[in-house]
């Protein structure tokens, strides 16, 4: 049979079967795009009126720096040093000799002059003075004087006669070193330190042997209170909370409450001392629960007795008034403070330029840079090591490509392991 020819479909057949959407698409493709040169004047005007923001440059098109409202504060000038010597106080001659020869200190600071006589009288005290004014010796000297003069000689096995709380392990080591030097003539009084990063087993062994002056961070002491049976506070006569504002800032308020409850459960009467550089609401609240009829010592003011509020309302009013007075700040006279306000995207280049200026183009300086988070510390450390030190952290001992002086960067933050951070 003859082969049937296939029927050829005409173009019109496709057009009849095409949908309305296909026709619209074909019409749109047939229109050529209008070049930019043929834009109407109206369109050109709208293009020109749009703001042109260029973000590729660090030094152009930076936003205006807003005016920030700042509180008016008054800087208080404290006289740190005095001409009075320790021999004028009612102290043991060997203690005075140790202060002069071992510590190489002949005259008292203002906080020591006001605090030591009050503590020698057995009074509780709330001491407020700037950092670096000698508060450690202000409580350390009367503490040693009191313990060495006890009628029954202290035995190591008696346990803690004094408890000193400090916020950090670094301050714990520093305070322990100072107390140890003061105890050089009185070898029967044994100091000891408890802090994070040390082996609990060795600390428990020292507690079993006996520690008469116990210096500790709040967290580690609470750990031993809960887990170590040999620790007790039956003979504790002194409680000293040093750098109380920093203890609260680091979140140890609950730990301090646990320690106070443990002390009160075994011995209620003792001499309490609270020392702080600032008098915040938290410090005032801690003073209310830990001090008994205290003497308030402030270098900026005269010594005045801290009145005990008659009611809870008066106590709250007293706390709020103390916090309002905190608009006055005392800083060391040798401290020079500068402020530079820069746009956000200029902060990094400004910081790098400042580091180079201080560490390369001027005399060799040491700089401490504070950041608001651990992640920022890691980021800036890695970046500055690569850019300013000319290599990775392992290559830092070599010479930098930016200068003949090698810039060394170290990092420190709370997420680091204790062995690494120390």
Domains, in order of start, for the chain:
11-48 (no CATH), 74-329 (3.40.50.300), 344-421 (no CATH)
Task: List, for residues 77-127, the tens digit of each pLDDT value.
Answer: 667 778 889 999 999 999 999 999 999 999 999 999 999 999 999 999 999
- Is the per-residue pLDDT at 168 higher than 60? yes
Read off the pLDDT band of 292 (50, 70, 90): very high
Task: List, for residues 50-62, the tens digit of each pLDDT value.
Answer: 665 555 566 676 6
Task: List, for residues 31-55, the tens digit of each pLDDT value.
Answer: 555 555 554 555 556 656 666 555 5
- Residue 53 has φ and ψ, to the nearest 5°, of -110, 120
CB 157 within 8 A of CB 181: no
Task: List, for residues 252-274, the tens digit of each pLDDT value.
Answer: 999 999 999 999 999 889 999 99
Read off the pLDDT band of 323 (50, 70, 90): very low
CB 171 within 8 A of CB 243: yes
Instruction: Give the pLDDT confidence score for residue 22 in this predicted structure.
Output: 60
Pairing label, strands 295-298, 304-305: antiparallel
Q: Which residue has the higher pLDDT, 52 or 326?
A: 52
The percent helix, strand, coil of the chain (3-state, each to 5) is 45, 10, 45
User: What six digits make up the tokens of 159?
Assistant: 């346990």
Instruction: Give the pLDDT confidence score for residue 302 in this predicted structure.
Output: 47
CB 330 within 8 A of CB 78: yes
Instruction: Give the pLDDT confidence score for residue 333 in this predicted structure.
Output: 72
User: What six digits make up the tokens of 227?
Assistant: 């887990």
Report the predicted TM-score, pTM, of the whole model to 2 decimal places: 0.68
Q: How many residues does the chain have?
A: 422
Exposed e or buried b per residue across 316-342, where buried means at least 16 C-beta atoms within 10 angstroms of its C-beta: eebbeebbeeeeeebeeeeeeeeeeee
Q: Where are the alpha helices (DSSP H) in 35-194?
A: 41-49, 93-101, 110-120, 135-148, 169-182
Work out the number of other CB atoms within 10 angstroms of the CB of residue 76.
Answer: 14
Give the whole-number percent of the chain exceeding pLDDT 70: 71
Greatest pairwise CA separation for the chain in angstroms: 139
Residue closest to 276 by CA, chosen among 258, 262, 256: 256
- Is the per-residue pLDDT at 394 higher than 60? no
């Amino acid at each position: 049979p003859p082969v049937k020819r296939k029927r050829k479909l005409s173009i019109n057949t496709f057009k009849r079967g095409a949908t309305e959407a296909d026709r619209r698409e074909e019409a749109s493709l047939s229109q050529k795009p209008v070049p930019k040169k043929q834009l109407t004047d109206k369109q050109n005007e709208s293009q020109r009126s749009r703001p042109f923001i260029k973000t590729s440059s660090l030094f152009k098109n930076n936003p205006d720096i807003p005016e920030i409202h700042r509180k008016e504060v008054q800087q208080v000038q404290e006289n740190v040093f005095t001409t009075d010597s320790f021999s004028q106080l009612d102290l043991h001659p060997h203690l005075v000799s140790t202060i002069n020869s071992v510590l190489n200190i002949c005259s008292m600071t203002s906080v020591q002059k006001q605090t030591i006589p009050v503590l020698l009288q057995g009074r509780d005290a709330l001491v407020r003075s700037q950092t670096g004014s000698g508060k450690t010796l202000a409580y350390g000297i009367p503490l040693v004087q009191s313990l060495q003069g006890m009628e029954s000689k202290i035995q190591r096995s008696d346990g803690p006669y004094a408890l000193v709380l400090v916020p950090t392990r670094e301050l714990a080591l520093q305070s322990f070193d100072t107390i140890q030097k003061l105890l050089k003539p009185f070898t029967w009084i044994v100091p000891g330190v408890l802090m994070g990063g040390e082996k609990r087993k060795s600390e428990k062994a020292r507690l079993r042997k006996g520690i008469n002056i116990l210096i500790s961070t709040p967290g580690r002491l609470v750990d031993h209170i809960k887990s170590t049976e040999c620790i007790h506070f039956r003979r504790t006569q002194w409680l000293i909370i040093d750098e109380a504002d920093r203890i609260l800032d680091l979140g140890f308020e609950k730990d301090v409450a646990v320690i106070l409850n443990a002390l009160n459960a075994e011995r209620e009467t003792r001499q309490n001392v609270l020392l702080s550089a600032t008098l915040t609401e938290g410090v005032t609240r801690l003073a209310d629960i830990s001090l008994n009829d205290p003497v308030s010592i402030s270098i900026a003011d005269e010594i005045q007795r801290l009145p005990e509020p008659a009611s809870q309302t008066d106590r709250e009013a007293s706390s709020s008034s103390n916090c309002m007075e905190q608009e006055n700040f005392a800083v060391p006279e040798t401290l020079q403070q500068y402020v530079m306000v820069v746009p956000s995207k200029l902060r990094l280049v400004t910081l790098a330029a400042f580091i180079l200026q201080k560490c390369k183009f001027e005399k060799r300086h040491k700089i401490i840079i504070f950041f608001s988070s651990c992640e920022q510390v890691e980021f800036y450390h890695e970046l500055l090591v690569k850019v300013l030190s000319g290599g990775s952290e392992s290559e830092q001992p070599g010479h930098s490509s930016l200068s003949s002086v090698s810039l060394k960067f170290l990092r420190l933050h709370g997420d680091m392991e204790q062995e690494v951070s120390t």
